[in-house]
Amino acid sequence: MVYCVTQYTMTPFHVDLIPGEPIYEQVAYAAKKAILAGRLQPDDPFPSVRVLSQDLKINPNTAHKVIAQLIAEGLIEAAGPGFGCIVKPLPPSTATERGNLLKKQLEEVVVEAKTLGLDLDEVTRALGSHWVRLNGRPRDRKRG
């Protein structure tokens, strides 16, 4: 049995629940994304079952399933009885692993671009423009 008793006033990641998709998968994905993107650092406390269920308005059994899955995947660990769960240190991720976190968003962009009649070059230019606007310059593509 998994018990996490960490105190949080808000869950440290955002989830927009989509009807028809399993809730625990959506919450686990959002948590993984926060961990792998560095928004949750190693040794940071992870929200308890109670906090997840209250903040996200999900069933406590669903919140428990999320925590159990993240533990099984090696992303969080129980810190000990009464201490809750913490984020585990992660090995460096590859560009492919990080890119997989964007799979859903990229699919949405492709569908919208096709709906608008844009080709790949136009989408690439638009993405590059936004990248530069937000980051100041394009990133070196050779980094992995």
pLDDT of 85: 94
Class of the domain covering 23-87: mainly alpha
**Span 31-51, average pLDDT:** 90
Question: Is the pLDDT reported for residue 31 higher than 90?
Answer: yes
Tokens standing for 89? 């240190």
pLDDT of 136: 64
Report the chain's mean pLDDT, rounded to a whole number. Answer: 84
Tokens standing for 61? 């059994």
The residue assigned the tokens 């686990």 is 28
pLDDT-derived band at 97 (thresholds 50, 70, 90) equals: confident
Residue % of the chain over a pLDDT of 70: 87
pLDDT of 12: 87
pLDDT digits (tens, 9 = 90+) for 49-80: 999 999 999 999 999 999 999 999 899 999 87
Question: Is the pLDDT reported for residue 37 higher than 60?
Answer: yes
Cβ(94)–Cβ(47) under 8 Å? no
Strand segments (E) across the chain:
45-46, 76-80, 84-87
